[in-house]
Amino acid sequence: MTTNKILVVDDEPDITELITLYLERDGFDVHSTDNGEDAILLAEELKPDLIILDIQLKNLDGIEVCKKIRTDSGVPILFISCMNDDTDIIHGLTVGGDDYMTKPFSPSQLVARVKAHLRRQAVIDQSKTVIVVEEVLTFDGLVIDIPARTVLVRENEISLSTKEFELLVQLALAPNRAFPLDDLYTLVWGHDSMGDTRTLMVHISNLRKKIEIDPTNPLYITTVRGVGYKFSLKEGNTHVHR
């Protein structure tokens, strides 16, 4: 069995040591650095299975590191930050982060998050989609090719992150079904939201900006007040190729 490689990027030695201790105790191969420039080089050299990335770094912040890594890698990136600031969190998730945790956090909870992301990534690597179906979903102005993991919006192919694509597929496979926030989060991220669904909401916002004509008045992904989200569908607006 191959040992998963984890890259930890944090400029606080005590935090790095604690994370490393808990991850190594669970059998992970842990590598670390305290600066952003080295993180980019190590990500390319080591090809880690997951990156734990602090937003507040001295020479090159985690946001810029994430941007650089995302130019050629889809590795899961879990942001950690000492700032419980929505702007900080939103920025990190918008540039390609998959999830986040705010300091101080429980090391055992961090390990649980890491394992959940790795399980999800393993499913994606094996099946090329988190939902194993051989379908092309066709809607008015939107085509979702699940096996190819491609999306056409008004005949133009758009680029979606892994989580954005999974969210879109989960919603589109059950049109007009209202998904509670916590349920949708668990389906896509593979672990409980612990009551914090900001990660999900940011990804929905990013997804709307990419597929909707007017993200402020969405046609596809609509909000169900007091519940969560649904993929809105008018009768006769879709057909499925198998």
For residues 102 and 145, state if they share a domain. Answer: no
Cα within 13 Å of Cα(110), Cβ side: 30
Q: Taking residues 29-42, what's their average pLDDT?
A: 96
Tell me how far apart the alpha carbons of residues 125 and 138 are, in angstroms, rounded to a whole number.
Answer: 25
pLDDT score recorded for residue 38? 95
pLDDT-based confidence at residue 237 (cuts at 50, 70, 90): low
- For the chain, what is the domain count? 2
Residue 78 DSSP code: E
pLDDT-based confidence at residue 129 (cuts at 50, 70, 90): very low
Give the phi and the psi of residue 202 in degrees, each rounded to 5. -65, -45
Give the phi and the psi of residue 79 in degrees, each rounded to 5. -75, 145
| The 221-224 sheet, strands edge to edge | 179-180, 228-231, 221-224
* Residue 47: CB atoms within 10 Å: 11
- Residue finishing a domain among 92, 127, 162: 127
Look at residue 151 and give its three-state secondary structure: strand
pLDDT score recorded for residue 28? 96
> Looking at residue 49, which CATH number applies to its domain?
3.40.50.2300
Q: Taking residues 80-88, what's their average pLDDT?
A: 75
Tell me which residue has tokens 């900001």.
Answer: 198
Which structural domain, as residue segments, surrounds residue 189?
136-241
What is the longest distance spanned by two Cα atoms in the chain?
Answer: 58
For residues 121 and 143, state if they share a domain. Answer: no
Q: Taking residues 16-23, what's their average pLDDT?
A: 96
For residues 142 and 223, state if they share a domain. Answer: yes
Model confidence over 180-222: pLDDT tens digits? 999 998 888 877 766 678 889 999 999 999 999 999 999 999 9
Tell me which residue has tokens 């986040």.
Answer: 100
